[in-house]
Structure 1
Amino acid sequence: MSSPSASGGAVACGAGVFGAERRARALAARAAFLGVGLEDPRLKGAQRLLGDRRQPWLRRPWVALAAALAAVGAAFLWPDGLLGRGVGDAVSAGSLTGDPCHLMVRACAKSGAEGGFLVHACAVYMPDQLVKALRPPEDCSMCRGLTQVDKVVNISPAAFEERYAYTGRPVVVGDAMENWTARHEFSFQFFKELYEGSSEYWSHQINCQFFPYDTEFRALLEVFNMSEDRARMRYGTKPWYIGWSNCDETAARALRRHYTRPYFLPTTAESKRTDWLFMGSPGYGAHMHVDNVEHPSWQAQVRGSKQWQLQPPPECLYECRALEVTVHPGEIIVVDTNRWYHSTLIVSTDMSITIGAEYD
């Protein structure tokens, strides 16, 4: 799902461990919502941490590489000492290739530290190519022989599980949103009113993810403060495309009044609690990237049309071919974005709105 990506070099932590810069920005956005100025003493710690993260030497690739190697070495040397059991367990479980975040972050903080801002302050930017190099190799049977993305309707959960659910084979289901009121209710104004009236979202934003892509926005609050002309994509205004994870239980209940669990998911599968939403204007989308999430995901095209470009992992380039599919309103695409490199482009004249989630 064009979502929690390793692209851009930021280490993404599946357990809610985010880089210091993202956390400081989230604090600043929450402060703005609460009317707290950036000079307020309560934000000095976040500003100081953000300043430390922006020191030029921290952005040099050799620093990230050295930190990674140091973390690996430390994990083997002191699995039960200064670093705590977290790193040793991560290495023994094979997380060296699967989740470099565990090594990069846990090597900087004692396992006894819980909660608190500074526990996660040592997350550093890893070069994009290094992140990709640390990914485990894929079994090319996931894409071997595929020439197109199937489009199906009226597929049973059993058939979906056998052919698509966990095989890595992408599919578009065309009839899974027939009873969803989201197709008529979801809009820029709907989300604006939903989140502007929710203090719960802003109080939990520090643990959420926001994807600005090629826009100037730093937080969801800034998106909803854009001009009405730009929000309505009127001629001459700047296009935009953003995404976010929903961490607000009140908002989640409101969202789920308008959509239901896709009927085709295996009966034993659980659709995760976190909703991922993506919204933007024609001609924009997500660049080519691969995600760093735990499970495959579904993404429902509520409004607009979005073209997906799927590239097999590098080790499968000689056995598999690139795929392309356009997902139209009312269709749901299912793709393992941890394995398929993917980009998206809004190809409709209407705004694109999608909602999705992982499933296990």
Structure 2
Amino acid sequence: MVNLGKEKRRLKRRLQYIQREAISGVGFAVENILSARCLLPSNYFVWEATRPVANCNYCVNITKPTILRNITRKSFNYYAYSSKPIIVKEAISHWRAIKEFTFYTFKRLYEQTVGSYESLDYGCQFLNFKSDLFTLKDVFNMPKARVENEPGQEPWYVGWGNCHPEILSKVRQYYSIPEFLPEDAEFPETENIFFGYEIGAVMHLDYIPRLMWQGQVKGNKTWSVAPVPECEHVCHKFDYYVEPGDIVLLDTRLWYHATTIPKGQFSLTVQSEYG
């Protein structure tokens, strides 16, 4: 039989944790989370309240990411489905995207492709994080000074699901699924693009079906991770950073995570899942 009193206390701790992380971790109030369009799904707190209790073994004694270099698919099998934070150094340095992806690459593609913006109305989520940009069209209509984060301009950072078939086909000519991931892994049909300056993502969990990988194409990025609230007493928060050419792998369903970008740097990442 479910102990309702215990469940209420657990839910209260979770909601307090979200509020604390939102305010102290990223300087961001929960009220803003609830009111900001496209920042987080409206049922985020319902998901958090009904999330299964985690087994804290996933984070015990973890205080930094595992760093891998020159990893092969065979060697990566040991780590493939781990929940521990992992950085694979210089894993995508050969991607064309490293040299050729810019803000204007995507601006041209979306402006020249029929129905490009409409694809975001049919299940491909746009995330404006803490910026005042509420659609991808808003992003690509920014004046040049703001696009390039010139002095006096408001920083911006956005992300979206890249699911227009024609655009997806074209951008995939610049990158590929990391070769070290399991050959029999399942991958979604789309990838996500995140780019911008300084702001990054607020502290949150992802409610996705698979593990996450993210390729750092441009700029540096700092990740702040924290265990779920029921594991606070045995696990730790910590920060780490990635550089262009690196891949981050993280079970974002179990680790709260936020990102920040060094002042003045432009960050661009490609992100997807595998499982």
Q: Work out whether the TM-score is over 0.5.
A: yes
Q: Give per-residue Cα distances to partners, 1:103-140, cap 9 Å, x unaligned.
A: xxxxxxxxxxxxxxxxxxxxx944x5443221111121
Cα distance in 1 for residues equivalent to 2:207 and 2:153? 33
TM-score by length of 2: 0.82
Return the alpha-carbon distance in structure 2 between the equivalents of residues 159 and 198 of structure 1.
Answer: 41
1:142 aligns with 2:75: no
> Conserved in 2, the CA contact under 8 Å of 1:304 and 1:349?
no
1:160 aligns with 2:76: yes
Rate the CA distance shift 1:300–1:348 in 2: closer, same or farther, 3 A: farther
Aligned residues: 240
Tell me if structure 1 keeps the 8 A contact 2:117–2:136: no
- Of residues 161, 169, 185, the one that matches 2:100 is 185
Distance 1:203 1:220 in 2: 10
Secondary structure of the residue aligned to 2:87 is strand
Greater percentage in strand? 2
Report the CA distance between 1:200 and its aligned residue.
3.3
What is the match of residue 305 of structure 1?
220
Tell me the alpha carbon deviations over residues 123-182 of structure 1, each in whole angstroms, 9 at most, x when there is no partner: x944x544322111112121112121122111222332322x222111000121122010
Secondary structure at the aligned position of 2:78 is classed as: helix
Once residues 235 and 245 of structure 2 are traced to their aligned partners in structure 1, the CA distance between those partners, rounded to angstroms, is 29
TM-score, normalising length: structure 1: 0.63
**C-alpha deviation, 1:218, in angstroms:** 1.4
Change (3 A) 1:9 1:324: same
Partner of 1:324: 239
Q: State whether residues 273 and 357 of structure 1, in contact with CA within 8 Å, keep that contact through their aligned partners in structure 2.
A: no
Match of 1:268 in 2: 184
SS at match of 1:324: strand
Q: Which residue of 1 aligns with 2:201?
A: 286
Divergent runs of 4+, >4 A: none
More RCO (CA 8 Å, sep 6+):
2
Q: Tell me which amino acid in the other structure corresponds to 1:324.
A: D
Equivalent-residue separation in structure 2 for 1:224 and 1:148 (angstroms)? 37
Flag the structure with larger Rg. 1
Q: How does 1:110-129 map to 2 (within 5 A)?
A: 125-126=42-43, 128-129=44-45
Partner in structure 1 of residue 230 of structure 2: 315
Instruction: Report the 3-state secondary structure (helix = DSSP H, G, I; strand = E; otherwise coil) of the residue aligned with 2:74.
Output: helix
In 2: Cα distance, 1:248 partner to 1:132 partner: 30
Could you tell me which runs of 5 or more consecutive residues in structure 1 were left unpaired when the two chains were aligned.
1-6, 11-20, 23-123
Q: Which residue pairs with 1:256 in the alignment?
A: 172
Could you tell me how far 1:272 is from its partner in structure 2? 2.1
Measured after TM superposition, the shift of residue 206 of structure 1 is 1.2
- Unmatched tracts of structure 2, length 5 or more: 1-31
Q: Residue type of the partner of 2:245?
A: G
Q: Quick one: distance in 2 between partners of 1:125 and 1:151?
A: 35
Overall identity of the aligned pairs, in %? 35
